[in-house]
């Protein structure tokens, strides 16, 4: 009934309006990657057909790359922990007059303990099912993870 197609005028504008309502419903329901991709109208037969594209969760919905910040020794190009570089510079007399040290850093890949499957489960991502964004689940995970230097 909300589509305007039942008992209403069967014209392209009505079909387009219905398609827009379906898109709006997808967004409100959390199906952000879904959309109406086409619409056809056969006014003589009284048939309107909407084509939709619905995204599903992949077989591996989450991939994690753990990283850490490391210091780069300007003389040797060697990388080391930030604390090791601070100690080295202080021992070598490379600290500023106020006792602070400065050095270049980079991000490097490292091993982590977080399992991709655990993240997928926490976000309710099940392979093959429609992808649905649930703000409360995602926001809770981002808030808990961001405290640990993630995201």
Query: Distance between CA atoms of 21 and 17, rounded to whole angstroms?
Result: 6
Q: What is the pLDDT of residue 130?
A: 92
Instruction: List per-residue pLDDT tens for the chain, 151 residues long.
Output: 566 566 666 677 888 888 899 999 999 999 999 999 998 888 788 788 889 999 999 999 989 898 999 999 988 999 999 999 988 888 887 767 677 778 899 999 999 888 899 888 888 899 999 998 887 777 665 555 545 554 4
Ramachandran sector of residue 77 (left: φ over 0; alpha: ψ -120 to 50; beta: rest):
left
What are 115's two structure tokens?
Answer: 């399992």
What are 39's two structure tokens?
Answer: 């619409």
What DSSP letter does each residue of 86-125 carry, written as one string? HHHHHHTT---TTS----EEEEEEE--S--HHHHHHHTT-
């Amino acid at each position: 009934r909300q589509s305007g197609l039942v008992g209403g005028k069967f014209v392209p504008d009505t079909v387009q309006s219905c398609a827009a309502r379906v898109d709006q419903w997808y967004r409100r329901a959390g199906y952000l990657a879904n959309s109406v991709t086409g619409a056809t109208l056969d006014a003589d037969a009284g048939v309107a057909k909407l084509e939709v594209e619905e995204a599903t969760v992949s077989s591996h919905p989450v991939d994690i790359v753990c990283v850490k910040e490391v210091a780069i020794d300007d003389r040797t190009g060697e990388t080391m922990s930030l604390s090791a570089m601070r100690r080295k510079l202080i021992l070598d007399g490379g600290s500023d007059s106020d006792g602070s040290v400065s050095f270049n850093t980079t991000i490097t890949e490292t091993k982590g303990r977080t399992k991709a499957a655990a993240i997928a489960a926490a976000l309710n991502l099940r392979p093959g099912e429609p992808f649905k964004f649930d703000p409360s689940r995602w926001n809770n995970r981002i808030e808990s993870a961001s405290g640990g230097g993630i995201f």
